Amino acid sequence: MSILQELSDLVIAGNYLNIKAKTQEAVDQGLTAKEILDGGLMPGINLIGERFARNEVFVPNVLMAAKAMNEGVEVIKPLMLDGSVTTIGTVVVGTVKGDLHDIGKNLVALMMRSAGLEVIDLGSDVSSDKFVAAVKEHKPDVIGMAALLTTTMYEQKYVIEALVKEGLRDQVKVMVGGAPINQAWADKIGADCFAADAAEAARLAKGYVA
């Protein structure tokens, strides 16, 4: 078994305790950050994402795999500064104001990073002002807003209105998601798309920047 396959298997298993040493072993063998990322870490997390979309694994499995992947990425981060690893676009994500749920949003961020996107994660309870400020600062291709409560879903509408007011709406694609959200709601508030799950969110975002 190749060391890249071993890395992939460690990610799939969520084995965050052993992946740092194995990643360092790959570095010591002369593999580049891009080879390790594209050939080992990302195939593992992508497979977990596909299994999650098919309901073959569940949120705890994805979170453990994400933790393992992040441990591996920490090892190769210094090597990534040489420019061998590039991103295809930038996405700002956050859970809207008044909503503290972040597991779904974290999964979206993970899947988007796996798709080669740079993700600016604003966290949870994010106001429209913070979304607007992030668009001004990072000039993302896409913003993704999560709302997990019916009482907070209107915040997605307020963010879009704020983007319009600031003259930024036509500069960025707006994606919405969350338990109470559907395509009809996305259409109603003027969002560009609705994503039903993390895998779809990554696919849609990648489509916007490809």
> Among candidates 52, 66, 50, which has minimal Cα distance to 15?
66
CATH of domain 89-209: 3.40.50.280
What integer pLDDT is reported at residue 33 of this predicted model?
Answer: 87
Ramachandran assignment for 165, one of left (phi > 0), alpha (psi -120 to 50 degrees), beta (any other):
alpha
> Among candidates 159, 147, 146, which has minimal Cα distance to 189?
159
List of residues 6+ apart from 45 with CB closer than 8 A: 11, 65, 66, 69, 110, 114
What is the full per-residue pLDDT of the chain (210 aa) written as tens digits? 899 999 999 999 999 999 999 999 999 999 998 899 889 998 998 888 888 878 899 888 988 998 898 899 889 888 876 666 677 899 999 999 999 988 789 888 877 887 788 999 999 999 999 999 999 999 999 999 999 999 999 999 999 999 999 999 999 999 999 999 999 999 999 999 999 888 789 889 999 997
What integer pLDDT is reported at residue 70 of this predicted model?
Answer: 83
Q: Are 97 and 109 in contact (CB under 8 A)?
A: no
What integer pLDDT is reported at residue 85 of this predicted model?
Answer: 67
Around Cβ 197, how many Cβ atoms within 10 Å? 17
> Among candidates 34, 116, 111, which has minimal Cα distance to 66?
111
What integer pLDDT is reported at residue 83 of this predicted model?
Answer: 63
Please list the residue range(s) of the chain that carry CATH number 1.10.1240.10: 3-80
The type of residue at 201 is A
**In whole angstroms, what is the distance from residue 178 CA to residue 147 CA?**
5
- Three-state DSSP state, 30: coil
What integer pLDDT is reported at residue 50 of this predicted model?
Answer: 83
Q: Are 106 and 66 in contact (CB under 8 A)?
A: yes
Please list the residue range(s) of the chain that carry CATH number 3.40.50.280: 89-209
CATH of domain 3-80: 1.10.1240.10
**What totals of helices (H) and strands (E) does the chain contain, helices first?**
10, 5
Report the alpha-carbon angle 30-79-68, nearest 5.
Answer: 90
